[in-house]
Structure 1
Amino acid sequence: MNLLAQQALSRALARGARPVPAAEVLPAAPVPAPVPAPIADGGHFDRVGYLEGRKHALDIVRDGRLLLELQGGRSQLADRLRQCMQSKPASFAQGVASIIALVQEVAQ
């Protein structure tokens, strides 16, 4: 046990110690919740999320490689990748978007 905890315990167990009412310890007015700052430029970018997005998109492309050979299959695959971008962090979505760009580039 650290020194601060030992001191608090010894004060609590000392003779003549009296319980402290909660009203004396708690603030009189509730503390307002902090307001989150708006995220600029589409959110926080982190490299790990970007790489995870690319990896996930590549797995989808590998699983749907037969679609690449069908007529209109590349657009279907790109639509599936766009669907997996929904409700994801910005960095993850950017990783998926880079793979979508590659799939569309190969289609031309």
Structure 2
Amino acid sequence: MNLLAQQALARALARGARPVPAAEVLPAAPVPAPAPEPAPVPAPVAGGGHFDRVGYLEGRRHALEIVRASKVLLELKGGPKQLADRLRQCMQGKPADFARGVAEIIDLVEREVPSE
């Protein structure tokens, strides 16, 4: 028996010990917390199938590597369009989630890189 338990037992068995009502010892009843806000519902997946987050992240990573390797192409006239076409080619024949990750990077390139 540990020290605290021994002390508690000794107090309980001591002469003159008085019983303590449970209400004095137990904590007050908890106040019900307000209802939590509902969690955001993810957007439905096009095609109604399973969403593979790993495939999506792999597609983004692959597309980012291609963009980083083609920095010079981004500076040329018509380069961003060529890079977007190259990324679209790498999407062909890949799983839908991988292609979705690549498509997001294509959108970023088309939106953020000025095409001259």
Please tell me the TM-score bracket, short chain as reference: 0.5 to 0.7
Large movers: runs of 4+ above 6 Å: none
TM-score normalised according to structure 2 size: 0.56
C-alpha separation in 2, matches of 1:42 and 1:86: 20
Gaps of 5+ in 2: 1-45
Which of residues 80, 84, 107 is equivalent to 1:101?
107
Which of residues 47, 54, 64 is equivalent to 2:53?
47
C-alpha separation in 2, matches of 1:59 and 1:85: 14
Aligned to 2:85: 79
Residue 91 in structure 1 maps to residue 101 in structure 2: no
Identity of aligned residues (%): 71
C-alpha separation in 2, matches of 1:42 and 1:83: 24
**Shift of residue 43, structure 1, vs aligned partner:** 4.8
Structure 2 vs 1, CA of residues 42 and 70 (structure 1 numbering), >3 Å: closer, same or farther? farther
Alignment RMSD:
1.5
Aligned length: 69
C-alpha separation in 2, matches of 1:71 and 1:77: 11
Structure 2 vs 1, CA of residues 60 and 43 (structure 1 numbering), >3 Å: closer, same or farther? farther
